Chain A
Amino acid sequence: MTNEDIKNLILEIIKDIDDEADFESHDPDKALREQLELDSMDFLDIVMELRKRHKLQIPEEDYPHLATLNSCVRYLQPLLKDA
């Protein structure tokens, strides 16, 4: 997967959680949770979807790497490079 693919994957998952999510003014370096009104359960939905779609088991200590869109890409790139 390219960086762009990973970005789109995360946005697609968030869209599934909230199809009214507003990505218009989204800043990829700012926290997803605050910008898109995601709570802890929504965040776990992202983790679960990555598991379902790509068999990724993300350990809890790595959750902070999923804070922003860009940090998601940086963290997931090596894990999804062959996906």
Chain B
Amino acid sequence: MSSETKQILTTDGIPLEVSLKKAEKKNKIKAFLLVAPLLLFLVITYIFPIGDMFMRSVDDRMVTNMLPKTFKAMEKWENLDELPPEEVYRGFYEDYKLLAENQQHGKLGQRLNKEKNGFNTITKKLFRQIKRKKIDESASLKEQINKLHKRWRDVEYWQAIKRTAPPYTASKYLKGMDMYFAADGSIAQVDEDRRIHRILWLRTLEIAFFVTLFCFFMGYPIAHLLATLPMKYSNLLMICVLLPFWTSLLVRTASWMILLQQQGIVNDFFVMTGLVADDNRPEMMYNKVGTYVAMTQILLPFMVLPLYSVMKTISPSLMRAGKSLGGTPFVAFWKVYFPLTIPGIGAGCLLVFILAIGYYITPALVGGASGTLISNQIAFHMKTTLDWSFASAMGLMLLTGVLVIYWIYNKLVGVDNIKLG
């Protein structure tokens, strides 16, 4: 059958398929040109930065480029439990001398110090010796350097240098999970009292999960009301839902600060109604409570809108049918109405969860120490420690997490079932 259809010719004798392609070619080009600006925009603002971020997060070429001879010589270093041979010392000395001449030695010291504490001191010592020309290049450099400081005689320091040899490293990612490459190259956990990132990841997931849950339980009835009220009331309600949308995020967060602070309106109200004593005002800000309240309010429209758009399409006669067939109002709701809103629930929850997981301004302002999220940590490394590669690594981990959640969601519910509007 298919071979027959391929044989169809137009009246001019051109195969139909060729003729069709020709006829549609112009339209295809037009369509592509229409989307080209957007495509270009996406490439420049999205794909390219992500690629750059990835490169930054794994890039470790600095030391590789600074110590080319050392690493070349290290290839011959066979027994890693013993100090490296003379060639490695010579290579390191020559590299370091070159760096010292170009005033680059400080950078190397700092970098190596990150790898193993104590490097800064011993490289500076070496620098001083080179400067004073106290090193005899014709004699054994291994002996001379080893004599400078006992750390040079410690094989762990040489192992640390060797670990920096590969131009790319996953160490930033391990750091993001409170792990590191141990001396022997295996993966180890940091000390228990220093595992801050794992706590932050878990807290981010927890807050995103509960914010999604709160948004769902608050948004569902609102969306239902919106979908069933007569037009003139539903429009008004819709404006009420959307109003926060049109207000600056910063302004909304600031207004929550005014409301929630210890001398704030909410606390004043509690005291006035006698719920709490005046000297025992609860802290509702600079902790998780503040983050929950403010984020739920801010993300609520993202839950309401997809739910509303789905509910709007559900015919009221379905609920009536459910009731007339003998279902109690609850059964009719649970068996008929609720399953039909699942696409909206899926879309709303996914939207809120993904937005919440990467939320930054609100937790930064009202979260305090116990209410901040992973994105605040990323910002901290971007702005304060200037460890951009670590910030990039965590950013990518966050992105991967979102993609994983999306994938799981697709497996469970099916992305086709999402209805955003």
Q: Do A and B assemble together?
A: no
Interface residues of A (CB under 8 A from B): none
Interface residues of B (CB under 8 A from A): none
